[in-house]
Structure 1
């Protein structure tokens, strides 16, 4: 019964394994695969968003509203927007006590059970993507509890980072369970990150684009977009069914851009947001650096940060908590009720309180505070220019919305995603035109500064794609071209002594272990044998000591993927198995080693030919100079008897391009471009070398 269930689990895992040649949403199996995976991730993202949202609500109600007696304004989609005087609270003096205790408790939870859950979460998920590491199973739960306590007790943090890490953590766990390859693991993680953010902010499109955009400063992870779109809409649907289908912020329906001269104001907003965005990033990481060097236990530091935030909150209570309610207030005429010194200081004080909360090791996001900082920059511009300069909008909403997009879109290097998210959060698309101006200017002024320290510039700078970018030829070669035939393997029933004797004179450090049907069961190495005392080796079978957690390679996987698998597992060789996902057996086809990869790489470079991906998915283009001994020389193409699955695309002779016909005659020295399937490439190479006869095309 156990073996049957294990076999079924193995079959399910194999159904989700694809080589790169079939990684296209035009492939029905690949589409089905990501429909299933993305739906599962989206379900967890939606449920996680509900649990996290509810936990924050209750924590804030118990600690800030009940204990301190202070009710903060909420965005229109989440509660009342009524402004309450802080000093009319029942016990305002308790605020520093609550924020300090919240920081201490959250810090103790994080640094006792999951130190990697400190900080804002999104950066940790980005780092895990690039480095190919897994997110531990406990992280989502620890992050949820610690962040709810931090935010619910008045810490200045957002809810997007924890939401991203919760669903990204599930994506990572699911990838481990299904044994997905390295690239699919990363896509699952990015999908979880985008769907978590899209769900909790009711912004599914923006969240999906964010999954692809936030990983790099100047690039996109295009493969993540489609899975993230599926997961994000599933997560949003589940969260919306619980919280309602309204937007987070409420703005007038007639809010629109209709005055071109106003673009000058949006240019000013873009400039201010660019500089203040850089201040946000540098101030945040400056405070983080200072806290890391404090000679105190790590779990104490969030308590110190909480104490300072609470003391600041006694003077400027608008700087505590998430602050989304104050953004809602600033979008309307309620902004006029706030003292102008509060409006001018709040962006800078919010930077300080966010650095003290999250930079000290507290748990929470930095996207939300970035929205508040940007929104208050726009509010300050409107407040200073209203009734002073011509053409200013009648309400501050347009300036606030565009500034939210400009500040965080620039410093996060995710302009498109942030514009879409804020548009979805406000239900207003008409301000995208002026937002493009402001976000572009802000992004230019930000330069290479970023609020996410784990971002890299482009795919070429990411460990996730370094092999593919550094050795592009490897991505056009497949495992079956480089593998060597299986020369030695052992049966599970053989003794350890038998294996030791066989490996003693060999040049390899180990060999596969198979059952009597020839199916792979494990591998055994000299190191495994040496762990067993010498006097027991004649009595123990290989089944008892073999390593069953084997790295296996699909025969039609690309060599850059295979090399990444070998280096990630820190092994020098691995068995190549039958890649048929419908077969529960794992028949060994050969062995691939790092040395054989290097050999075919050098051999391919040395050929007088050039290899590239074909214009058609699943094909390869081979450009070769025709030698005198080639069988197609001085023959019409109709009589050349080319190998099957091979087509001549072009002929270049003395700098002249010739388009082939049946009557065309190829001469020695011509450079010919072939379009061939990966399976037929070896036949073509043999044909050109005139080594063996091949089956001609009809």
Structure 2
């Protein structure tokens, strides 16, 4: 039976939103400031490494230092993003406060000495650790603690990439494959926006990317309103982007599994990983695939930005970055997976554009978001990210590439604690 509306219910809603706004504001501001500090230190570490290439030879020692820190201080925080996801699924002991400074410091160390890693994981862990600390101070119950943790994840993600709407959707979508719960929608949006504004206010600038391609207004025939040839190329590229995401997740998981199984002395795992990273870099004759890969000091080098231009990547660039990042993260170094996924996707898109005759900047942009979508099982968030970063003109292509990559990326992704609610293949509910 239809229940009549009442102004009293609206007052309760307003009270609920006001309460969450007051709870979230200090959390989001602190996360925004910590992410700003992290990005500043990360840029400083990258510039220092570029100016002192010999630092790469100290990567094995950096690996031992990171292993030791997590053994002595880190304890269960070594689980990283998966610990945050597990705590959201089943609130219990909380995310340790030490996670934030530890992941911040060790990620900067990884980048200073040349590891191939990203920054999203660090930002998410900063958000999860900070929000968990505030939840203890607030003495929230389990359900409210869960919402605040999700808001912390949104704040970290939105601030580190300058994509507040994406940050909010990502925090909701990443928890489970196939289902989004909206109980934390507004808190996540508030947290992501406030953290991003805080980060920008203290002077942090994000990298700008551009897709100059615009869908044609005139077509060969009047009844065809879409470029179906380009559409077919985008679908085919989406399939390949999904397979690349699957390959990255599998490679990283297998490297971690086999290195822990066959290397008896655990401190040797990052040492072996560092030797492989350094050896491969010298073997291919370039350091372009180390660090974030957003830019490079070499004007002829390969980077995410160069991938948006013709000739800005080699046909093998995406594979080298995939391998070096899987070794770095799978063998004990710290950082995130997402920025390397941007690199893998953008350079793969560049190669596919050359092979198919599609616009280079369009396919680079599609790869940028679609490989990420496949690896994290977050196609909606990644479609929104495309709009936030590149504009809405190619939104249809963003959605097609991300959704296709999502389906072809396999049943699991880079986060082992991500639950599967709806099976991709059979489209049926599994567990909630």
Per-residue Cα deviation, 1:446-479 (whole angstroms, up to 9, x for no partner): 24121111001139xxxxxxxxx99xxxxxxxxx
| Higher helix residue share | 2
String of CA shifts for 1:331-358, please: whole Å, max 9, x gaps: 02351xx5xxxx2222222222112111
SS of the aligned residue for 2:46 comes to: helix
1:35 Cα offset (Å) = 0.3
Question: Structure 2 CA distance, aligned partners of 1:58 and 1:277?
Answer: 30
| Aligned equivalent of 1:379 | 350
Map of 2:371 onto structure 1: 407
The answer to whether the 8 A contact 1:110-1:118 is kept is yes
Residue 329 of structure 1, aligned match among 298, 302, 306: 306
- Match for residue 416 of structure 2 among 445, 448, 453: 453
State how far apart, in whole Å, the 1-side matches of 2:254 and 2:407 are: 22
Distance 1:108 1:207 in 2: 32
Residues 525-604 of structure 1 aligned to structure 2 (within 5 Å): none
Alpha-carbon distance in 2 for matches of 1:309, 1:131: 37
Q: What residue is the counterpart of 1:177 in the other structure?
A: 137
Within 5 Å, which residues of 2 pair with 1:236-315?
236-243=196-203, 248-251=207-210, 254-258=212-216, 259-314=227-282, 315=284
Partners of 1:117 and 1:363 within 8 A in 2 = no
- Contact kept in structure 1, 2:55 and 2:112, CA below 8 Å: no
Helix, strand or coil at the partner of 1:243 = coil
Higher relative contact order structure (alpha carbons within 8 Å, sequence separation ≥ 6): 2
- Cα deviation for residue 26 of structure 1 reads 5.1
Residue matched to 2:105: 145
Q: How does 1:49-60 map to 2 (within 5 A)?
A: 49-60=35-46
CA RMSD across the alignment: 2.3
Deviation sequence 1:545-580 (CA, Å, 0-9, x none): xxxxxxxxxxxxxxxxxxxxxxxxxxxxxxxxxxxx
CA–CA distance in structure 2, aligned partners of residues 108 and 118 of structure 1:
11
**Aligned-pair CA distance for 1:411:** 2.5
Q: Following the alignment from structure 1 to structure 2, what is the Cα–Cα distance between the partners of residues 23 and 37?
A: 21
- Residues 34 and 25 (structure 1 numbering): CA distance in 2 closer, same or farther, change over 3 Å? farther
> Given the superposition, is the C-alpha separation of residues 126 and 106 from structure 1 closer, same or farther in structure 2, using an over 3 Å criterion?
same
What pairs up with 1:36-435 in 2 under 5 angstroms?
36-62=22-48, 64-68=49-53, 94=54, 96-118=56-78, 121-133=80-92, 134-243=94-203, 248-251=207-210, 254-258=212-216, 259-314=227-282, 315=284, 316-325=286-295, 326-333=303-310, 335=312, 338=313, 343-386=314-357, 392-393=358-359, 396-424=360-388, 426-435=389-398
**Max Rg structure:** 1
> Equivalent residue of 2:176, what SS?
coil
1:297 positional shift? 3.8
1:101 Cα deviation after fit: 2.6
Structure 1: distance between partners of 2:10 and 2:311: 51
Aligned residue pairs total: 398
**Structure 2 residues not aligned, in runs of 5+:** 1-7, 217-226, 296-302, 423-430
Residues 96 and 311 in structure 1, CA contact (< 8 A), matched pair in contact too: no
Structure 2 distance, partners of 1:242, 1:131, is 35
Deviation of the 1:286 alpha carbon: 0.4
Give the SS at the match of 2:52.
Answer: helix
Rounded to whole Å, the distance in 2 between the matches of 1:422 and 1:101 is 38
Runs of 4+ in 1 over 4 A off after TM superposition: 22-26
TM-score (norm 1): 0.54
